[in-house]
Chains A and B, each alone.
Chain A
Amino acid sequence: NAGVMQNPRHLVRRRGQEARLRCSPMKGHSHVYWYRQLPEEGLKFMVYLQKENIIDESGMPKERFSAEFPKEGPSILRIQQVVRGDSAAYFCASSRPAGTYNEQFFGPGTRLTVL
Protein backbone atom coordinates (compact mmCIF):
# COMPACT_ATOMS: atom_id res chain seq x y z
CA ASN A 1 0.00 0.00 0.00
CA ALA A 2 1.74 3.09 -1.23
CA GLY A 3 1.81 6.06 1.06
CA VAL A 4 0.78 9.59 0.24
CA MET A 5 2.49 10.72 -2.93
CA GLN A 6 3.39 14.27 -3.86
CA ASN A 7 5.00 15.66 -6.95
CA PRO A 8 7.09 17.37 -7.84
CA ARG A 9 9.38 17.10 -4.82
CA HIS A 10 11.12 20.32 -5.75
CA LEU A 11 9.73 23.14 -7.83
CA VAL A 12 11.45 26.32 -8.88
CA ARG A 13 9.43 29.18 -10.29
CA ARG A 14 10.12 32.78 -11.19
CA ARG A 15 7.96 35.53 -9.78
CA GLY A 16 4.70 35.78 -11.67
CA GLN A 17 4.62 32.17 -12.85
CA GLU A 18 2.15 29.51 -11.76
CA ALA A 19 2.97 26.64 -9.43
CA ARG A 20 0.97 23.46 -9.52
CA LEU A 21 1.43 20.91 -6.75
CA ARG A 22 -0.08 17.44 -6.85
CA CYS A 23 -1.05 15.03 -4.11
CA SER A 24 -2.29 11.46 -4.37
CA PRO A 25 -3.77 10.20 -1.09
CA MET A 26 -3.26 6.77 0.37
CA LYS A 27 -5.52 4.04 -0.96
CA GLY A 28 -8.83 4.12 0.83
CA HIS A 29 -8.41 7.71 1.99
CA SER A 30 -10.92 10.22 0.75
CA HIS A 31 -9.85 13.27 2.74
CA VAL A 32 -6.94 15.47 1.73
CA TYR A 33 -5.39 18.33 3.67
CA TRP A 34 -2.82 20.84 2.48
CA TYR A 35 -0.34 22.51 4.83
CA ARG A 36 2.39 25.08 4.37
CA GLN A 37 5.59 24.98 6.38
CA LEU A 38 8.01 27.86 6.47
CA PRO A 39 11.59 27.26 7.65
CA GLU A 40 11.74 26.52 11.37
CA GLU A 41 7.99 26.92 11.74
CA GLY A 42 5.07 24.61 12.30
CA LEU A 43 2.52 23.29 9.91
CA LYS A 44 -0.08 25.85 8.89
CA PHE A 45 -3.37 24.46 7.67
CA MET A 46 -4.47 25.73 4.28
CA VAL A 47 -7.36 23.70 2.91
CA TYR A 48 -9.29 20.49 3.50
CA LEU A 49 -10.95 18.64 0.65
CA GLN A 50 -12.96 15.57 -0.07
CA LYS A 51 -13.58 14.26 -3.55
CA GLU A 52 -15.10 17.11 -5.61
CA ASN A 53 -15.70 19.21 -2.49
CA ILE A 54 -13.82 21.87 -0.59
CA ILE A 55 -14.76 21.36 3.04
CA ASP A 56 -12.68 24.05 4.72
CA GLU A 57 -10.43 26.61 3.05
CA SER A 58 -10.13 28.97 5.97
CA GLY A 59 -6.34 28.78 5.97
CA MET A 60 -5.84 29.50 2.32
CA PRO A 61 -5.17 33.03 1.06
CA LYS A 62 -8.17 34.38 -0.83
CA GLU A 63 -6.14 35.48 -3.80
CA ARG A 64 -3.85 33.50 -6.09
CA PHE A 65 -4.38 30.19 -4.26
CA SER A 66 -6.85 27.50 -5.24
CA ALA A 67 -7.25 23.79 -4.61
CA GLU A 68 -9.23 20.96 -6.06
CA PHE A 69 -9.70 17.24 -5.57
CA PRO A 70 -11.44 15.88 -8.67
CA LYS A 71 -13.36 12.66 -8.85
CA GLU A 72 -10.48 11.11 -10.73
CA GLY A 73 -6.84 11.98 -10.24
CA PRO A 74 -4.79 13.72 -7.60
CA SER A 75 -5.58 16.75 -5.52
CA ILE A 76 -3.98 19.89 -6.90
CA LEU A 77 -2.88 23.03 -5.10
CA ARG A 78 -2.44 25.88 -7.55
CA ILE A 79 -0.61 29.10 -6.83
CA GLN A 80 -0.92 31.76 -9.48
CA GLN A 81 1.50 34.65 -9.97
CA VAL A 82 3.88 33.35 -7.35
CA VAL A 83 5.84 35.77 -5.17
CA ARG A 84 8.99 35.18 -3.11
CA GLY A 85 6.90 34.86 0.05
CA ASP A 86 5.30 31.72 -1.38
CA SER A 87 8.62 29.89 -1.03
CA ALA A 88 7.97 27.11 1.48
CA ALA A 89 7.44 23.39 1.85
CA TYR A 90 3.90 22.33 1.02
CA PHE A 91 2.73 19.10 2.56
CA CYS A 92 -0.43 17.24 1.89
CA ALA A 93 -1.89 14.65 4.22
CA SER A 94 -4.71 12.18 3.80
CA SER A 95 -7.03 10.45 6.19
CA ARG A 96 -9.90 8.03 6.23
CA PRO A 97 -13.51 9.14 5.97
CA ALA A 98 -15.25 10.88 8.84
CA GLY A 99 -16.26 8.79 11.79
CA THR A 100 -12.76 7.67 12.66
CA TYR A 101 -10.04 9.46 14.53
CA ASN A 102 -8.43 11.95 12.20
CA GLU A 103 -5.08 10.24 11.93
CA GLN A 104 -3.33 11.93 9.06
CA PHE A 105 -0.56 10.51 6.95
CA PHE A 106 1.74 13.01 5.31
CA GLY A 107 3.31 13.04 1.91
CA PRO A 108 7.01 13.87 1.37
CA GLY A 109 6.23 17.48 0.55
CA THR A 110 6.92 19.80 -2.35
CA ARG A 111 9.58 22.39 -1.75
CA LEU A 112 8.72 25.49 -3.73
CA THR A 113 11.39 28.07 -4.41
CA VAL A 114 10.41 31.34 -6.02
CA LEU A 115 13.27 33.23 -7.61
Chain B
Amino acid sequence: GENVEQHPSTLSVQEGDSAVIKCTYSDSASNYFPWYKQELGKRPQLIIDIRSNVGEKKDQRIAVTLNKTAKHFSLHITETQPEDSAVYFCAASIRGGSYIPTFGRGTSLIVHP
Protein backbone atom coordinates (compact mmCIF):
# COMPACT_ATOMS: atom_id res chain seq x y z
CA GLY B 1 0.00 0.00 0.00
CA GLU B 2 0.84 3.66 -0.14
CA ASN B 3 3.18 5.15 2.44
CA VAL B 4 3.47 8.91 2.94
CA GLU B 5 6.31 10.46 4.92
CA GLN B 6 6.07 14.09 6.01
CA HIS B 7 8.80 16.39 7.35
CA PRO B 8 9.43 18.23 9.51
CA SER B 9 7.06 17.31 12.32
CA THR B 10 7.43 20.80 13.80
CA LEU B 11 8.36 24.04 12.06
CA SER B 12 8.85 27.33 13.82
CA VAL B 13 9.28 30.55 11.78
CA GLN B 14 9.14 34.29 12.28
CA GLU B 15 6.27 36.23 10.79
CA GLY B 16 7.10 37.17 7.22
CA ASP B 17 9.44 34.25 6.65
CA SER B 18 8.71 31.37 4.29
CA ALA B 19 7.79 27.85 5.39
CA VAL B 20 8.33 24.65 3.43
CA ILE B 21 6.84 21.25 4.27
CA LYS B 22 7.92 18.18 2.36
CA CYS B 23 6.26 14.84 1.70
CA THR B 24 7.31 11.69 -0.09
CA TYR B 25 5.11 8.87 -1.30
CA SER B 26 5.78 5.32 -2.35
CA ASP B 27 3.05 4.33 -4.84
CA SER B 28 3.88 5.60 -8.32
CA ALA B 29 0.18 5.19 -9.25
CA SER B 30 -0.80 8.04 -6.92
CA ASN B 31 -1.85 11.06 -8.92
CA TYR B 32 -3.72 13.37 -6.58
CA PHE B 33 -2.04 15.19 -3.69
CA PRO B 34 -4.16 17.38 -1.41
CA TRP B 35 -2.94 19.47 1.51
CA TYR B 36 -5.06 20.07 4.60
CA LYS B 37 -4.78 22.66 7.34
CA GLN B 38 -6.08 21.82 10.79
CA GLU B 39 -6.32 24.51 13.43
CA LEU B 40 -6.40 23.46 17.04
CA GLY B 41 -9.59 21.63 17.87
CA LYS B 42 -11.05 22.08 14.41
CA ARG B 43 -11.63 20.02 11.30
CA PRO B 44 -9.00 19.49 8.58
CA GLN B 45 -9.69 21.82 5.67
CA LEU B 46 -8.41 21.48 2.15
CA ILE B 47 -6.19 24.43 1.29
CA ILE B 48 -4.66 23.38 -2.01
CA ASP B 49 -4.16 20.29 -4.12
CA ILE B 50 -2.10 19.22 -7.09
CA ARG B 51 -2.63 16.58 -9.74
CA SER B 52 0.06 14.59 -11.41
CA ASN B 53 -0.28 16.29 -14.77
CA VAL B 54 1.17 19.53 -13.39
CA GLY B 55 4.40 20.27 -11.58
CA GLU B 56 3.41 23.37 -9.64
CA LYS B 57 0.31 25.17 -8.51
CA LYS B 58 0.01 28.50 -6.74
CA ASP B 59 -2.78 30.21 -4.82
CA GLN B 60 -1.78 33.58 -3.37
CA ARG B 61 0.79 32.88 -0.64
CA ILE B 62 0.55 29.11 -0.95
CA ALA B 63 2.19 26.95 -3.59
CA VAL B 64 2.67 23.23 -4.08
CA THR B 65 5.28 21.51 -6.20
CA LEU B 66 5.33 17.91 -7.37
CA ASN B 67 8.23 15.82 -8.59
CA LYS B 68 6.76 12.57 -9.91
CA THR B 69 10.10 11.05 -10.73
CA ALA B 70 11.38 11.46 -7.21
CA LYS B 71 7.91 10.88 -5.73
CA HIS B 72 7.90 13.92 -3.54
CA PHE B 73 5.76 17.02 -3.21
CA SER B 74 6.07 20.15 -1.11
CA LEU B 75 3.96 22.92 0.35
CA HIS B 76 5.41 26.44 0.31
CA ILE B 77 3.94 29.28 2.33
CA THR B 78 5.42 32.73 1.76
CA GLU B 79 5.10 35.84 3.95
CA THR B 80 3.82 33.74 6.84
CA GLN B 81 1.34 35.25 9.27
CA PRO B 82 0.39 34.18 12.82
CA GLU B 83 -2.95 32.88 11.50
CA ASP B 84 -1.01 30.37 9.39
CA SER B 85 -0.15 28.57 12.64
CA ALA B 86 -1.79 25.14 12.45
CA VAL B 87 -1.06 21.51 11.68
CA TYR B 88 -0.66 20.79 7.98
CA PHE B 89 -1.25 17.34 6.49
CA CYS B 90 -0.25 16.09 3.08
CA ALA B 91 -1.97 13.13 1.42
CA ALA B 92 -1.61 10.97 -1.67
CA SER B 93 -4.32 9.12 -3.54
CA ILE B 94 -5.43 7.91 -6.95
CA ARG B 95 -8.03 9.72 -9.01
CA GLY B 96 -11.49 8.26 -9.00
CA GLY B 97 -12.48 4.79 -7.92
CA SER B 98 -12.41 4.02 -4.26
CA TYR B 99 -8.77 4.52 -3.51
CA ILE B 100 -8.28 5.78 0.01
CA PRO B 101 -5.98 8.79 0.52
CA THR B 102 -3.00 8.13 2.74
CA PHE B 103 -2.11 10.99 5.04
CA GLY B 104 1.24 12.09 6.37
CA ARG B 105 1.65 12.46 10.13
CA GLY B 106 1.36 16.22 9.99
CA THR B 107 3.57 19.28 10.50
CA SER B 108 2.89 21.67 13.32
CA LEU B 109 3.68 25.15 11.97
CA ILE B 110 4.20 27.93 14.49
CA VAL B 111 4.50 31.48 13.22
CA HIS B 112 5.90 33.88 15.80
CA PRO B 113 4.72 37.49 15.56
Tell whether, in the assembled complex, residue A102 and residue B46 are in contact, meaning their CB atoms are under 8 Å apart. no
Question: Given the interface contacts A43-B44, A108-B43, does A101 sit within 8 Å of B103 by beta carbon?
Answer: no
User: Interface size on B (CB < 8 Å)?
Assistant: 27
User: Interface size on A (CB < 8 Å)?
Assistant: 25
Answer yes or no: A33 CB below 8 A from chain B CBs: yes
Answer yes or no: A105 CB below 8 A from chain B CBs: yes
Q: How far is the CA of A98 from the CA of B42 in the complex (A)?
A: 27
Tell whether, in the assembled complex, residue B96 and residue A109 are in contact, meaning their CB atoms are under 8 Å apart. no
| B72: A residues at CB distance < 8 A | none
| A91: B residues at CB distance < 8 A | 43-44
Question: Given the interface contacts A103-B46, A108-B43, does A98 sit within 8 Å of B103 by beta carbon?
Answer: no
What residues of chain A have their CB less than 8 Å away from a CB belonging to chain B? 31, 33, 40-45, 48, 55-56, 59, 91, 98-109
Given contacts A105-B46, A108-B42, 12 further A-B contacts (CB under 8 A): A33-B100, A41-B105, A41-B106, A42-B106, A45-B100, A101-B96, A102-B95, A102-B96, A104-B46, A106-B43, A106-B44, A106-B45
What residues of chain B have their CB less than 8 Å away from a CB belonging to chain A? 6, 32, 34, 36, 42-46, 49, 51, 89, 93-106, 108
